[in-house]
Amino acid sequence: MKPYLANFRFYEELNDFLGRDHYKQTIAYRFGGQPAIKDPIEVLGVPHSEVDLILVNNASVGFDYKLKDGDRVAVYPVFESLDISPVQRLRPKPLRNTAFIVDVNLGKLARGLRMLGFDAAYGNRLKDREIVDIATREKRIVLTRDRKLLFRKSITHGFWVRAVDADAQVREVLTRLDLYSQVKPLQRCMDCNGRIEPVAREQVWSRLEPLTRRYYSEFFRCSSCHKIYWSGSHVAHMTGVIRELLVR
């Protein structure tokens, strides 16, 4: 029998990671030695990258805190819609560098986020290792349906996407990370994540179809792949899609 006992309570969506027996329950955790608190949290099934605040006996601690006999532990998720100020979060800047790296099978989510102006890197052939590297190097939030990926040590900010339908996924990310106020439609290229910038008609003239030349005067160009956008029917269509996505 392990000699020590600590009580863990996980809040809000972190319960999604726990087994049925532990869902929204106080968990009696037996242990020996002096494990860093990150270990029992992950042993219980919760990736550290989803955790933003740990309170031990009502004081906030870091992941390296050594668990002690009798500790009462409260663990809170990474997201902004829960007001946990003024207590200190685990990271000085929670995750508001709103840039994403989107896991391989979530291409439609990436396109949806780009349409709303978010920086969402995506490649359908990226290996887990590469996703972790990009997240670390470029300080991106990992969006994935694969919980295991979020256990990787070097990932600091991740979100396990629960929804299956792409539109529902976009809404889920906006809601959970409280991003509605940061939506800036039509600023990112949906194909490549580059920035879209206004461009003079003369600069793109040679690439336009005769009808486009005749009917449109305002043009935008992706600074990365050079795709041309104009305020025609497809912008109207996107505006409609965006309006749908933003219905709460």
| Contacts to Zn ion by CB under 5 A | 189, 191-192, 194, 222, 224-225, 227
Q: How far is the CB of 138 from Zn ion (least distance, A)?
A: 18
Q: Which is nearer to Zn ion, 81 or 223 (CB)?
A: 223
Q: Which is nearer to Zn ion, 54 or 121 (CB)?
A: 121
Q: How far is the CB of 222 from Zn ion (least distance, A)?
A: 3
* DSSP string of 57-116, one letter each residue: TTEEE-TTPBP-TT-EEEEEES-TTS--TTSPPSSSS-S-S-EEEE-TT-HHHHHHHHHT
Return d(Cα 149, Cα 155) in angstroms, integer.
9
Q: How far is the CB of 213 from Zn ion (least distance, A)?
A: 22
Query: Which two tokens mark 182?
Result: 């940061």
At 173, phi and psi to the nearest 5? -65, -45
CB 84 within 8 A of CB 56: no
CB 67 within 8 A of CB 2: no
Q: Which is nearer to Zn ion, 157 or 221 (CB)?
A: 221
Q: Which is nearer to Zn ion, 51 or 196 (CB)?
A: 196
Q: Which is nearer to Zn ion, 139 or 227 (CB)?
A: 227
Return d(Cα 201, Cα 213) in angstroms, integer.
9
Inter-CA distances, 233 with 108, 166, 212, 220, 244, Å:
21, 23, 11, 14, 17
Q: How far is the CB of 119 from Zn ion (least distance, A)?
A: 13
Q: How far is the CB of 187 from Zn ion (least distance, A)?
A: 12
